Amino acid sequence: MADRRNFARYYDLTERVIPDKYLNNETLSMEDAHREMMCLALGAHGIGTAEDFADYYHLKNVQARTRLGELVDEGIIQQVDVEGWDDIAYAPLDIPSVAPTDSRALLTPFDPLVWTRERIKRLFDFIYRIEIYVPEKKRQYGYYVYTFLLGDELVARIDLKAERDKGVLRVKGAFVEAGQDEDHVADNLAEELRLLADWLGLDRIVAGRKGNLIPALRSVLKSRI
């Protein structure tokens, strides 16, 4: 596959896609390729289980465990125990200290950070379920719910709809996670929604009625008109 645009895939001859310096190299064995994939997966995750890394490259769990075990035996990576995790975890030999982050983002249900539902449950104590195929009356949060990342926490869930004919970004529902400061979350969320509305070319942000974050969010939005 040479390219992907939206949902369309474009194919071409191998020699026109892969540079000669790679195409003419000696092919790795399957085992060595899997070892390299596990190292790359570890680099992307920072820390994780064999199942996490297997999912990253769509390998079988047993393949991931075997290759990770070899890397541990060779002193390339290390096994670690993580409080609250049932499975053994793997980490780099030198685990870097990480400074607090001021990250802020609305994550789609298919964002890599939230893609593996079991992993985000372990990391963030955040249970996420996509409700596109759930009958409307049975949905807890909404049709297409975004997760709101603030700092190093998943702090809220937002059901959004772009009504382009009206120039409106509609917040159908907004739900803050337990223990979070509603005003702080609403203030940051309003800023992120403004960025999204501008990017979509929408003039207004309208808050609906569903969710425990709506009152605080509506108040912030009203103060910024």
Say what the pLDDT of residue 97 is: 78
Give percent above pLDDT 70 in the chain: 100
* Opening angle at CA 199, ends 193 and 200, nearest 5: 90
pLDDT one-digit tens code per residue, 77-101: 999 999 999 999 999 999 877 777 8
- Provide the 10 A C-beta neighbour count for residue 36: 12
Cβ 203 vs Cβ 194: under 8 Å: no
Say what the pLDDT of residue 54 is: 95
Domain ranges of the chain: 3-92, 104-223
Q: What is the C-alpha radius of gyration for the chain, rounded to an integer number of angstroms?
A: 22
Tell the CATH topology of 104-223.
Aminopeptidase (3.40.630)
Instruction: Quote the pTM value.
Output: 0.82
Give the separation between CA 47 and CA 53, rounded to whole angstroms: 9
Query: Which amino acid is located at 186 in the chain?
Result: A
* Opening angle at CA 178, ends 177 and 181, nearest 5: 80
What confidence tier does 189 reach under pLDDT thresholds 50, 70, 90? very high
Tell the CATH topology of 3-92.
Arc Repressor Mutant, subunit A (1.10.10)
Q: Is 123 helix (H, G, I), strand (E, B) or coil?
A: helix
Q: Residue 205 above 70 pLDDT?
A: yes
Q: Residue 22 above 90 pLDDT?
A: no
Give the separation between CA 209 and CA 152, rounded to whole angstroms: 28
* C-alpha neighbours within 13 Å on the C-beta side of residue 24: 3
Report CA-CA distances (Å) from 113 to 18, 96, 106, 130, 139.
29, 20, 11, 14, 23
pLDDT one-digit tens code per residue, 130-175: 999 999 999 999 999 999 999 999 999 999 999 999 999 999 999 9
